[in-house]
Structure 1
């Protein structure tokens, strides 16, 4: 009887201890999404859009410094490189940047999380790391919204996915966190990636591209709870449907398709890095807050970012990527 009682109490104590150890460990997609915080986004963005980066013009010292900042973030948070080791750079020779004066080499930055069940299938989440640099008088164009907002959102999403990996809840499909250079001068970084893919394009399920998600379109001042989506149904109705379902379930933004038309006079569908994936028949979503009075001006600074709204938008993209990475079947391409 004493032995039985001892065994019973021991198992009870062990059970209690086991429960205690698991308390507070994130388990759901929402738990991981909520690791993306206003504080973290703001902290990273003030550095990335700071004067030290000198406006991040392609091939300049400031742009290389920005790429190194992204790389160091991934190293510090133990988020693997797509190439292995501490090499996160896909180097692009100066000769690739056609039509520019004073061409200089540049680099894309690639971090990677390998899928647990379908590692050959790949979700690409992208943002451009460059901006327009400085004027002849040395005035810096910080590019806080364009595209520091997308850059730091991508970094924070990578950290959230890596936390899931640490907890044994990593994505079933692989995820490539792709920071591309040369967007402002002709989408060169994304073009170079699709011409020199690190992972086969045929295995690339979709591209979620983030370019300006930190501000409010002046036309939306009365309804700032929105995000423009472009391209979501151009190649895959299923991608569009998944995107809508995730938003309806978790985030409740007003998804606005005002610019979702190849014939839109603004031609936004052709003006960011998703387009190079779409040209290769890979389904895309371009996340965009629209242009504003500080677009490509020295006044696009970190103090003007709507950080609460940016965090909400980032969580939507993260949760969409989570669903695409973990659903049973790969989304289908049904349009060409």
Structure 2
């Protein structure tokens, strides 16, 4: 996440026309109560189960390794991380937007320098894409930045949480959607998996995308942005929670969808402490969702808080709570699944 100086396991399909729980725990009954699954519920359950703790761990140990040199914007290490991500998508049969012609959207150094990016070199956003079966022109975006702050005085800042955790979560969510598509149950709307660059220096990659969208912003339904979901902060130590920011700023429906998805999956504590544009920490403005929100696109930002290793060389993989990371990734997948498959797109009814 950009630094500024300003002072379940109960599984459910959340389709709008089908809201039956798949596995529940009845009050006073320690044993799960199974219910008959519809075809669409089975598709959801199977895809949901593809978000695996061991795969999150495997990918994060690579993305946040010393070999990636802290993934500073445009650096050789960041490019290595990008190549690893693209190979992951190729391995799972997940392609790129046809209009783009590759997984890369170049973000020119001139663009970043004009916005205060000093001497940053050219960099790239990385885009993977699954086309919708019924409403392919409507786009659900799942985003996270894959850059970090690089190496300082010979010390690698690995950024395992910031935002290695979001990076591997987006990859696993994409894999889950692709598994459903392979089984003949792909999303009705298209889903764009957007890994942006230059976040730490000024949200440059997401700004470049929204200034130069591959898909019209008018057709973009939502941005679900994941930035730091692998740790806990001091005031929530040991809790199963996630901060959610911005979910009711532009659409009254999005927060309702988020909370329904949460109740019917891992039932995390959804913490809205920072869910205010006037909050002194200004987190609504500090990650890549904001560049979508300022274009009137509903957003939800998922975040674990400011912990003691934020922007320090000690933000390492060994400190990641992978069980909590998995639960948070599953929540975002469930929300994306609902939005991608509901009959009508969510509405913008707030300003």
Pairwise same-fold verdict (TM > 0.5): yes
How is 1:199-238 mapped onto 2 (pairs within 5 angstroms)? 199-222=215-238, 224-238=239-253
How is 1:177-326 mapped onto 2 (pairs within 5 angstroms)? 177-222=193-238, 224-326=239-341
The match for 1:18 is none
Give yes or no for contact 2:100–2:214 (8 Å, CA) kept in 1.
Answer: no
Distance 1:220 1:29 in 2: 30
The match for 1:50 is 65
- Deviation sequence 1:70-116 (CA, Å, 0-9, x none): 11111111101113797200011110112233320000000000000
TM-score scaled by length of structure 2: 0.86
The match for 2:138 is 121
Q: CA deviation at 1:31?
A: 2.1
Return 5+ residue gaps in structure 1 as ranges. 1-25
SS of the equivalent of 1:55 reads helix
Q: CA deviation at 1:327?
A: 0.5
Give yes or no for contact 1:260–1:269 (8 Å, CA) kept in 2.
Answer: yes
Q: How many residues align?
A: 310
- Deviation sequence 1:191-225 (CA, Å, 0-9, x none): 00000000000000000000000001110015x11
- CA 1:96–1:196 in 2, change beyond 3 Å: closer, same or farther? same
Q: Within the alignment, does 1:140 sit opposite 2:156 as a pair?
A: yes
Q: CA deviation at 1:167?
A: 0.1
How is 1:170-181 mapped onto 2 (pairs within 5 angstroms)? 170-181=186-197
The match for 1:8 is none
SS of the equivalent of 2:174 reads helix
The match for 1:5 is none
Q: CA deviation at 1:30?
A: 2.4
Q: Specify the structure having the higher radius of gyration (Cα).
A: 1
Distance 1:183 1:92 in 2: 12
Q: CA deviation at 1:126?
A: 0.1
SS of the equivalent of 2:78 reads helix
Give yes or no for contact 2:266–2:331 (8 Å, CA) kept in 1.
Answer: yes
Distance 1:76 1:85 in 2: 20
Distance 1:279 1:103 in 2: 25
Give yes or no for contact 1:209–1:286 (8 Å, CA) kept in 2.
Answer: yes
The match for 1:109 is 126
Give yes or no for contact 1:75–1:86 (8 Å, CA) kept in 2.
Answer: no
SS of the equivalent of 1:109 reads strand
Distance 1:128 1:276 in 2: 13
Give yes or no for contact 2:117–2:202 (8 Å, CA) kept in 1.
Answer: no
Per residue, is there more helix in 1 or in 2? 1
